[in-house]
Amino acid sequence: KELEAENQMLRDCITSSKDFIELKGCIV
Whether the model clears a pTM of 0.85, i.e. scores above it, the answer is: no
Whole-angstrom Cα distance, residue 4 to residue 11? 10
pLDDT at 28: 46
Half-sphere exposure of 28 (CA within 13 A, CB side): 5
Give the start-to-end residue ranges of the domains of the chain: 1-28
pLDDT at 2: 80
pLDDT at 6: 82
Q: In tens digits, what is the pLDDT along the chain, a chain of 28 residues? A: 688 888 887 777 766 555 665 656 565 4
Neighbours of 26 (CB within 10 A): 16
